[in-house]
C-alpha cells in the first residue's frame, strides 16, 4: 500500500484550514486517513503550522511520501533536517548526541527568525492601522477669512482697470 503525507482541507469557502494526515494514496483528498499529524493555517502571516515531529519522522522513516506542500512544511519545521541528521548517525558519521546538538542549535536559530518575522509583520500592521493625522493650522478668524476671499476679487478688478487704461 502506497502511503502519502498530505493535506486534508477543512474550513469554509475561501477560508481554508488543513490537517496534515497520513493516508492511502488511493483514498480521496478529504476522505479516510490513517493518522493525523498536525494542522496548517495559511491565512495567518506567517502561516501557522503545528506538527508532531516524532510521528512525522516515524512515518518518513517507514517510507511515507510527502506531497510538495507537506514537504515544504516539514522542511520548515525541521523534520526533514532531523531525518537527515539521523541518517548520518546510522551511517556512523557522528553520534546521536552531536546530531541532537546540531538540531537544537538549528531550531533555536529558526525560532528566532520566525519570531522576528512575526514582530516585523505585527509592527507593519500596527503602522497601517494608525490613522494619519494632518497638521491643522491655527483657526482663522471670520474677518481674516473674509479678507482672503475679497482679496482675489479686488486683484481681479484692479487688473481689469489696468487693461482698460
Compute the Cα dihedral for 44, 50, 56, 57 and give only its sign: positive
**What is the structure's pLDDT at 55?**
96
Residue 69 pLDDT exceeds 80: yes
The CATH number of the structural domain formed by 3-129 is 3.30.1320.10
As a dihedral over the C-alpha atoms of residue 84, residue 90, residue 94, residue 96, rounded to 10 degrees, the angle is 80
pLDDT-derived band at 47 (thresholds 50, 70, 90) equals: confident
- Distance (Å, whole) CA 60 – CA 80: 9
| Domain segments of the chain as ranges | 3-129
Predicted TM-score (pTM) of this structure: 0.71
Q: Measure the CA–CA gap between 52 and 58, rounded to whole angstroms.
A: 10
Amino acid at each position: 500500500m502506497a502511503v502519502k503525507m498530505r493535506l486534508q482541507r477543512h474550513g469554509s469557502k475561501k477560508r481554508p484550514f488543513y490537517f496534515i494526515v497520513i493516508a492511502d494514496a488511493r483514498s480521496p483528498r478529504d476522505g479516510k486517513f490513517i493518522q493525523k499529524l498536525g494542522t496548517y493555517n495559511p491565512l495567518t502571516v506567517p502561516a501557522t503550522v503545528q506538527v508532531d515531529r516524532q510521528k512525522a519522522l516515524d512515518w518518513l522513516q517507514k517510507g511515507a511520501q510527502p506531497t510538495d506542500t507537506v514537504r515544504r512544511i516539514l522542511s520548515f519545521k525541521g523534520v526533514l533536517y532531523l531525518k537527515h541528521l539521523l541518517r548520518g548517525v546510522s551511517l556512523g558519521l557522528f553520534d546521536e548526541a552531536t546530531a541532537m546538538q546540531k538540531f537544537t542549535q538549528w531550531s533555536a536559530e529558526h525560532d528566532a527568525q520566525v519570531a522576528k518575522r512575526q514582530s516585523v509583520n505585527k509592527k507593519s500592521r500596527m503602522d497601517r492601522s494608525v490613522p494619519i493625522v494632518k497638521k491643522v493650522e491655527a483657526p482663522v478668524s471670520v474677518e481674516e477669512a473674509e479678507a482672503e476671499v475679497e482679496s482675489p476679487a479686488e486683484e481681479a478688478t484692479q487688473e481689469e482697470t489696468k487693461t482698460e487704461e
